[in-house]
Amino acid sequence: MKFLPSQLLYFFQGAGTRRNVARLLKFIAVLVVLASVYSVIFHVIMKYEGRDYSWLTGLYWTLTVMSTLGFGDITFVSDLGKAFSIVVLVSGMVFILVMLPFTFIRFFYAPWLEAHSKARAPRELPEDSTGHIILTNHDPIGAALVKRLSQNDRPYTFLVPELPRALELSDQDYRVVFGALDDPETYRRLRADQAALVVVTNDDLISTNIAFTVREVSERVPIVTSADSDDSVDILGLAGSTHVFQFTKMLGRALGRRVLGAGMRANVIGQFDQLLIAEAVSTGTVLEGRSLSESRLREVTGVTVVGLWNRGQFQFPQAHARIAPNTVLVLAGSEAQFRQYDELMSAKRNMAPVGPVVILGAGRVGRAAAEVLEERKIDYRIVEKDERALKQDAHYILGSAADRDTLVCAGIREAPTVIVTTRSDDLNIYLTIFCRRLRPDIQIISRATLERNVTTLHRAGADMVLSYASMGASTILDVLRPNQMLLLEEGLEVFRATVPPPLGGLTLRDTQIREATGCNVIAINSDGRATLNPDPAVRLRTGDELILIGTSEAEESFVRRYPKIT
């Protein structure tokens, strides 16, 4: 009830609303005039019958008859009076029981409900809004990004052009603003000139219009856009985008880099100053089946194993931990140390299957994965049932990926890896189960569109899963917080944090960061020097930088426990 005055004020601000209310008042005025005329006629006929009533009684009789209540305490005895009663009764049924409710609903109640709905989906942000992130599309990337922004208490808002969709998102506790995507006034009401970032992940044509429109309002606000087509990258840049990413292509290349192939080199996927973070698959190397202590990687190469990742399960390194087939080693070291690691693996690698890598799906993700394999001179076959997506190339196989004969023709019996790249998570789960049944020993790398399907894909048999949503969200966050976080596998991240005052002066062992949050400190930056795999007895100093590794849940736990250091 406390919001009713503000809702009514908003309701009566519209010109259309004022016109509708005027029509409703005119209709009520007609009813008043009609009831007054009937009251006068009531007195005339009663005089004719030799009876006399007050004016209030006349109005009382008129309203009871028009509303069909008809108490029967006052009635006419003459035929003229009874005929008049019928006229009053019928007109009352038409005007009060039919036309009045329709008019009230049409010209007042329905517009008020619409105004009430619009009040739930505001059209602007407060004037003092600053440092917020504006998202123009609620897609998997937007949802994943908002989840991470909420963890870090960063303000955001979705711009939604359809009112029903805006109300739906509002009911799901998202912060939304209702407005047109191509109207400069919308972005003025969103305080775009005071925003930290505008994220545009719509269709290429719509994204171009949005970026160009935002630039009319603010020349300085950074704009991140996604591009589906290669041709759109330059156009989006010309329209005003600060950063243009092809997330599907990035995802395909990331999947391709994780393939077992020629040379078991470490795949460097990120850098924190002089510290490199890399992944390496154990299959086909001398590491398979050994414990970490038996591998002697640190003694021989200087590279440190900071984690083991096996089908969605992350394990902190223990000396006795066994390196299973298809285990992904998360490594940290310098450029020189990784060169030594590559030389060791190249000299002592075991023989792996020599068949082509099988890629299921010839979409943007599948073709991008194939580009990486070509660069690494790894043979591959792409299975696709849509003839329009095929090239006249020996690498392409026409057929259904769910057909055993098609996969055998593509070489799945000798393939070291199969990459599942379709857009449908349901189909990816189906194909993962099918391929795992055909080849229990094959490496399966799968794409996920939605984060919630990652665990299901791991259970279906995928060794590695990367989601389109997480990769896009992580890339955008890297624009917002440069070089602060690195996505290794789906759900596994390396991130930076500053030592907070409560931990200053304590030894790393005494902080119990791993026990309390699930994150592990893999390096400490102090006075410009990085100490890799620090000794538990090292004493932390307030303001030093920690580099930590952990799952998404562990990072969230760390942020909640130390909210001021991220």
Tens-digit pLDDT profile for residues 11-27: 555 566 677 777 778 88
pLDDT (0 to 100) of residue 223: 96
Residue of 244, 154, 253, 249 lying closest to 201 (CA atoms): 244
Per DSSP, 538 falls in state P
Taking the C-alpha atoms of residue 238 and residue 464, their distance in angstroms, rounded to an integer, is: 37
Cβ distance 264 to 285 under 8 Å? yes
Contact 384, 390 (CB under 8 A): yes
Q: What CATH number matches the domain at 4-120, 3.30.43.10, 1.10.287.70, 3.30.530.20, 1.10.40.30?
A: 1.10.287.70
Q: How many CA atoms lie within 13 A of 428 on its CB side?
A: 29
Find the helix packing angle between 15-48 and 79-92, rounded to 10°.
Answer: 170
Domain 491-561, CATH number (from 3.50.50.60, 3.30.110.30, 3.30.300.30, 3.30.70.1450): 3.30.70.1450
Amino acid code (one letter) for 229:
S
Which one, of 291, 273, 289, lies nearest residue 522 by Cα?
273
| Phi, psi torsion values for 498, nearest 5 degrees | -95, 140
Taking 70 as the pLDDT cut, the residues of the chain under it are 1-17, 112-120, 260-264, 283-284, 311-312, 346-354, 483-484, 488-491, 564-566
What separation in angstroms does the CA of 132 have from each of 151, 152, 302?
14, 12, 43
| Yes or no: domain 262-348 corresponds to CATH 3.30.70.1450 | yes
Residue 146 pLDDT: 93
Q: Which two tokens stand for residue 271?
A: 């850098």
Question: Would you state the CATH architecture of domain 357-469?
Answer: 3-Layer(aba) Sandwich (3.40)
What CA–CA distances, in Å, run from 427 to 2, 453, 493?
Answer: 50, 11, 27
Task: Indicate the SS3 state at residue 405.
Answer: helix
Between the CA of residue 31 and those of 12, 66, 99, 242, what are the distances in Å? Answer: 24, 10, 10, 63
Among candidates 328, 348, 354, which has minimal Cα distance to 286? 348
Order of strands, edge to edge, in the sheet holding 380-384?
396-398, 380-384, 357-360, 417-420, 443-448, 464-467
**Token pair of 382 as six digits:** 């792409």
Asked if domains 4-120 and 262-348 share a fold, the reply is: no
Contacts of 401-408 with C-beta under 8 Å, sequence gap 24+, read 401/360, 401/361, 401/431, 402/430, 402/431, 402/434, 404/438, 407/358, 407/383, 407/435, 407/438
Strands 313-315 and 304-310: antiparallel
Domain segments of the chain as ranges: 4-120, 133-245, 262-348, 357-469, 491-561
What is the DSSP secondary-structure string of 229-267? Answer: STHHHHHHHHHT-SEEE-HHHHHHHHHHHTS--SS---E
- Yes or no: say if 224 and 245 are a contact pair by the CB < 8 Å rule: yes
133-245: CATH topology is Rossmann fold (3.40.50)
C-alpha pair distances (Å), 318 with each of 242, 292, 293, 306, 493: 44, 7, 8, 10, 19
